[in-house]
Amino acid sequence: GTGSSILSALQDLFWLSKSKVEKQLQIISVLQWVLTFLVMGVACTLILMYILCTDCWAIAALYLAWLVFDWNTPKKGGRRSQWVRNWAIWRYFRDYFPIRVSNNNSLLVLGWVLATSHSPFVRTPYGCNSLVTRGVGLCKVESPLVNNMERIILMLCLDPSVSPGSAGICPVNRDSIDYILSKNGSGNAIIIVVGGAAESLNCTPGKNSVTLRNRKGFVKLALRHGADLVPVYSFGENEVYKQVIFEEGSWGRWVQKKFQKHIGFAPCIFHGRGLFSSNTWGLLPYSKPITTVVGEPITIPKICNPTQKEVDFYHSMYVDSLIKLFDKYKSKFGLPETEVLEVN
């Protein structure tokens, strides 16, 4: 494919070993994603405003008109492009860490769920590091079922910010989830990261915490559609960036919460490694292994108008399942048996 051609060309040009060329391509793939996330939105907005003030203002006006006309398309999955989803850059991105889905018996159940039902996969944790570690195409699967499971695992590892229109990703809101779970046919599964910006404020190396205690909207939607809930946890995701954590009541936390409330995201002060050395500070994430584990699905009945008591009951079931999933695999991924998943 395209990735192999680039690799061969660079080898011939610089007489580098295959492993060194692959490592450089991995670094480039991650760097472009970090810069895209941090810079592209602001840059495109400034360019649009500038064009509006020039003789080419009509082009910007046409774009804005199209934006209004096309406003609801992202809620319906955008315009999926298999070509974009198959870009070699996502493979190099994946291998930089590397990211993989662990082999466990629930992969069989996972395949059955996706083939037969509408299921929300509720994924944790979410930190400033999550802005990059879920920006991949296909994870490595530690399972002999890899040939049959690739389509399924692709969904677990695709970030909503990666080419959203081309990847068929939707905003996480009630309208979008209702649209997907109401579609006829099998395999209409979705992945929800429930912690969001609030959870990112507490993510730091060595800490395993999720913001979930008062996040119950996804359970209510699951009940309305009779959609099974599948707990998912990623070990090592909090290790790829180092973040300054502001204590509750401090001016830093106050600023973060104001941004979160009014703008929708919480600014984090974080750093990773440098471009040329892992011993310097920079924007590149640390190359730490990240492993996603998938729990057994929780069967949810269809209740068109669930009561708060029913929502609380199934939410409690989900929280308990997530904690059991964490406890089952924590020692396998280097955590002590005494480690506890903090649920806020």
Q: Quote the number of domains for the chain.
A: 1
Query: Strand 242-243 and strand 270-273: pairing?
Result: antiparallel
Residue 100's pLDDT is 78
Contacts of 109 (CB under 8 A, 6+ apart): 296, 297
Higher pLDDT, 261 or 308: 308
Q: Tokens for 330?
A: 């924590």
What separation, in Å, do the N-terminal and C-terminal C-alpha atoms of the chain show? 45
Residue 232's pLDDT is 85
Q: How confident is the model at residue 103 (pLDDT cuts 50, 70, 90)?
A: low
Residue 168's pLDDT is 55
Q: Give the whole-angstrom CA distance, residue 209 versus residue 303.
A: 31
In the predicted structure, residue 169 carries a pLDDT above the cut 70 = no
Q: How confident is the model at residue 156 (pLDDT cuts 50, 70, 90)?
A: very low
Residue 90's pLDDT is 80
- pLDDT tens-digit map of 290-299: 888 888 888 8
Residue 261's pLDDT is 80
Which one-letter DSSP state was computed for residue 211? -
Residue 189's pLDDT is 67
Of 10, 40, 4, the C-alpha closest to 135 is 40
Domain of residue 269: give its range: 3-343
Residue 301's pLDDT is 92
Higher pLDDT, 9 or 276: 276
Of 36, 71, 66, the C-alpha closest to 48 is 66
Q: How confident is the model at residue 88 (pLDDT cuts 50, 70, 90)?
A: confident
Q: What SS3 state is found at 307?
A: coil
- pLDDT tens-digit map of 214-248: 889 889 988 998 888 888 888 888 888 888 888 88
Residue 308's pLDDT is 95
How much of the chain exceeds pLDDT 70, in percent?
73
| Cβ atoms 314, 300 nearer than 8 A | yes
Element spanning 191, H or E: strand 190-192
**Residues paired with 291 in a beta bridge:** 100, 235
Residue 61's pLDDT is 93
Structure pTM? 0.77
In the predicted structure, residue 281 carries a pLDDT above the cut 80 = yes
**Which alpha helices (H) appear in the chain, and where do they start and end?**
2-14, 18-35, 41-52, 57-69, 82-85, 88-96, 106-116, 130-133, 146-156, 164-167, 174-181, 196-200, 217-225, 251-262, 308-329
